[in-house]
Chain A
Amino acid sequence: MNYFPDEVIEHVFDFVTSHKDRNSISLVCKSWFKIERYSRQNVFIGNCYSISPERLLRRFPCFKSLTLKGKPHFADFNLVPHGWGGFVQPWIEALARSRVGLEELRLKRMVVTDEGLELLSRSFVNFKSLVLVSCEGFSTDGLASIASNCRHLRDLDLQENEIDDHRGQWLSCFPETYTSLVTLNFACLEGETNLVALERLVARSPNLRSLKLNRAVPLDALARLMACAPQIVDLGVGSYEDEQDSESCLKLQAAIRKYTSLRSLSGFLEAAPHCLSAFHPVCHNLTSLNLSYAAEIHGSHLIKLIEHCKKLQRLWILDSIGDKGLEVVASTCKELQELRVFPTDLHGGGNTAVTEDGLVAISAGCPKLHSILYFCQQMTNAALITVARNCPNFIRFRLCILEPHKPDHVTSQPLDEGFGAIVQACKNLKRLSVSGLLTDQVFLYIGMFATQLEMLSIAFAGDTDKGMLYVLNGCKKMRKLEIRDSPFGDAALLADVNKYETMRSLWMSSCEVTLGGCKRLARKAPWLNVEIINENDNNRMEENGYEGRQKVDKLYLYRTVVGTRVDAPPFVWIL
């Protein structure tokens, strides 16, 4: 390859898009390292504190797209206090100062501000795509800046963010001359929308492919929007609350008949039970269906809709569909690849909506299934063993039994054997979440068989440090390990300090790890940031002489090349 001029090599590299592959390429030789770094277009940073913006710019001066992730995953479940970190501001400022021609910014679990959005909108002439997932800290004013200043914006995709809705006119900030919109998702906004501005925007956007509305967009507006944008591929219905034969309903039904391109349907944040029937004509083309927010729709209506969805590949649904509903899914959706079943009743009430039977039915009926997230009341080892036999292709397997420590409800045994069967059969398993009553045995299985495992979530499981050690020693490809309320302590934490250099991060909360143990770890591994998050009385940890043995509430450690971060709040103690 040394006989080829650099441009040729670079051209070859253009076909290599995966981050991992490009990282590997850059390790081959100095020449390749250099060519690769100048030609990398998309940079992915899984932990915003592992590197600084300055070092990013030094290494990759020419990138166009940046993906950043901030808070640890368990922040989604309120385990990380407000103000912990994940601020995107320094990144935007550094990029704005440089000459990078940023076109796309994708953020997950980060804190974004209106000032940051404004700076972003003014600094990058060719900015095209903003995707914010589970972020917070900004308002519709920030969106107004983006709308006003980004002349070439294509995507504005806001997924499950906490946005302060000032009920302003951000939608009308898109100039009249602006016609390049491709994706618009504002489903997470709570407030009223300027419907006139919205309709005009949609009407002048011939390239619009994805439109996801919030709950404040009523049925008649939806009907009008759909009528002027029949090319939409991905639709998120906001609200559908109307009488069955109302004029708006009829208009909607007329518009739907033209929706030959529709492949993905979601939303129904406020929905009358009968509304789904209007969408039956387009079901046979749907590949993605997300009804996981449609709490008001009964299982029977869900089932009637799904019976028409023969090409479905992705289904997100509530457990109100029941085992019977899942059997219908199993017999209808032969192309199904990803299933998520969310709980309707978050407190595990007596209503056993889905059980192990539904899971078994799905595994038997859907041969292409590779990703599952399943919330249920009960499970058995026998069911999991059957599932493993039916579906050895799982890449992601996340099972959440709502009641912690719940054993096999038939045999009263721990669920070690069931999960053991899953990891043994699924040789490509990359992500696993376990739940229910589990002993150290399950971790022995995981360490032994889950050779490709990259992310593992553990809650209320295990007996001794051995459990965690099995995982750390066995799973060579582990990147993210998150543990809560499990009896793992210092011995497991400190057994192999160098392991953490191969991982992105480790989270341990309500475990048996002590402050002394964490300090020892921090001393042994200066290339790790060892953060202790202690909401109550941080100072008390140091006062009494027992500090070494004081249990740590929350521990978050991650590898980094830039040392201790400077933006940590008072309740975060970086050792």
Chain B
Amino acid sequence: MSSISELYDVSWEEMRDKLRKWREENYRNSEQIVDVGEELINEHASKLGDDIWIIYEQVMIAALDCSRDDLAWSCLQELKRQFPDSHRVKRLAGMRLEALERYEDANKLYDSILQDDPTNTAARKRKISILRAQGKSSEAIRELNEYLEQFVGDQEAWHELSELYINEHDYAKAAFCLEELMMTNPHNHLYCEQYAEVKYTQGGLENLELARKYFAQALKLNNRNMRALFGLYMGLFATSHQPYTPQNPEAQGFAARNRDEVDCVQLKFQHIHGEGLSC
């Protein structure tokens, strides 16, 4: 089996830089990380200097993803030897226990970290993910709510909570979480689009109109977002068919305008469709 550097003709510096890029941009290509990282660790450990510790951490998490317990164990040993009292290393040990499905031991480990340092967010989040892995979603939701009461600014947690609520079909609360995310990242078209989808799923005239607006906003932020375009189309279609009711005298005006917009969007769709067909 030839090594990565032979297969792709890259030097060890390029491999290290690639790992750094994956680390900074939060890629989850675990198999690639394991291949590249393992070779770096085995062949070029001395040349890496102090970078090696963070590479150990990155490779260990990727190894847990690929069920490579041998590699994970060896990385953990090296890290433990270098940083004996570190909370970060303890968290990695806990993650390994989680991967082996020894949830009780992992929980005990995280509790010990929290006793030492109550502000440690990583340990808390791991405990919640244990609950999620065990399928106890209502408890996971409760714990996550408590966590968010204390750490209101944690965006990863808000996103996780919105996913949990969507799985439970509690769309109102999922919309709330997504609103938090939209508030902190107003220029992220993906949050707008997800929020619009949740609103669309909730249904009802007001929600459909909100959904349309947010799909339009997502398109404005990024005009390549196909899901948003499709969502906008469906939203326009749905609202244009709403009947005129006495409570909502504007609905007819809306309906007329909507039909124009539906035609507009349809034209654009056909345009893409046509271009797509021509390829």
Partners in one complex: no
Using a CB–CB cutoff of 8 Å, the interface residues on chain B facing chain A are none
